[in-house]
Amino acid sequence: MKVTRLAEARPYEAKAHFAMTGLRLQGAEAGPCDFATLGLSHFLPGGGAESSASAVEKLYVVVTGEITIITDAGETVLGPMDSCRLAPGQRRSILNRSNLPASMLVILPAG
């Protein structure tokens, strides 16, 4: 078993993100995991990620606050314990339009 305590989680850089701090909980820099990486993203009010697409699918789970996910199909606001899947190649941007910080788990395939 590999335990990562939140107090010991290491920050990581996420390309094209702003007013956001990412912490790696499992996989990649946090240690070996064969199937996925797990990150915890903390978005300040006004924070987010620019529109981009990834070659891999992504899963998002909002833990606290509200996050707006914008795709070519429209906008969706996710609240605590709401989740979404983004297909490979699907463009998205992320915005925290609230006046409170928001936190979101990010799950990506390992690799």
Phi-psi category of residue 82: left, alpha or beta, with phi > 0 → left and psi -120 to 50 → alpha = beta
Distance CA 1, CA 76 (A): 36
Structure pTM? 0.94
Taking only the tens place, the pLDDT of each residue in 43-96 is 999 999 999 999 999 999 999 999 999 999 999 999 999 999 999 999 999 999
Contacts of residue 1, defined as CB under 8 A and 6 or more positions apart, other chains included, come to: none
User: Which of 63, 64, 66 has its CA nearest to residue 38?
Assistant: 63
pLDDT band at 111 (very low <50, low <70, confident <90, very high): confident
Domain ranges of the chain: 53-98
Taking only the tens place, the pLDDT of each residue in 21-31 is 999 999 998 88
**Dihedrals φ, ψ of 13, to 5°?**
-85, 135
